[in-house]
Amino acid sequence: MAETKKKNEWLEWVKAIIIAILIAFFLRTFIFATSIVEGESMDPTLQNGERVIFNKIIYILDEPERGDIVIIERPLKNYVKRIIGLTGETIEINGSNLYINGDKYEQNFLNEEAQRQSGNYGPVEIPEGNYFVMGDNRAISKDSRNGLGLIEENEIIGRSEFIIFPFDQWSLTR
């Protein structure tokens, strides 16, 4: 009897571990994942080497919004950038000023130095199903202005939610 009880207890533990692994796999595959910030293009918002958790399901349920920090999947590398322009909008950058559909847009997430280093760009109309993205460190960012081009909706694999590493820097990224 004692041996049967131990065997049943062992089977319950194995079932619990298998269920936990399946739940973790499901969450990692369809809901949340992590990404490492490489480079300094998102300074000061995100630092080189920080690890972020991103929400993979959000854009199945909703559309990307201006200001979202997103993970962009490209064949050789993933990029972390901020959405600036939405489908159908016209973007123009004139020095430190960003214009969306002809209206000046205040970039509250940037410091003055980063705004001054934005350069000149456009005007460019964003076609259907595309987005215009930039890094917060405008002077060195590879983004829609200079290398990444416009981002197709299916290339956006999630929205950054939390910084989880280094541990003393835990915070929301939104």
Q: What pLDDT, in 10s, does the model give residues 101-140?
A: 999 998 877 777 766 677 788 899 999 999 999 998 888 8
- Contact (CB, 8 A) for 60 and 156: no
Active-site residue, 141 included:
no
Going by pLDDT thresholds of 50, 70 and 90, the confidence category of residue 1 is low
The one catalytic residue in 5, 6, 35, 81 is: 81
The number of domains in the chain is: 1
- Contact (CB, 8 A) for 58 and 64: no
Active-site residue, 81 included:
yes
The one catalytic residue in 41, 141, 144, 160 is: 41
Q: Which residue range forms the structural domain that includes residue 99?
A: 34-172
Domain annotation covers residue 11: no
Q: What pLDDT, in 10s, does the model give residues 135-162?
A: 988 888 889 998 899 999 999 999 988 7
- What CATH number is attached to the domain comprising 114? 2.10.109.10
- Supply the mean pLDDT for the chain: 86
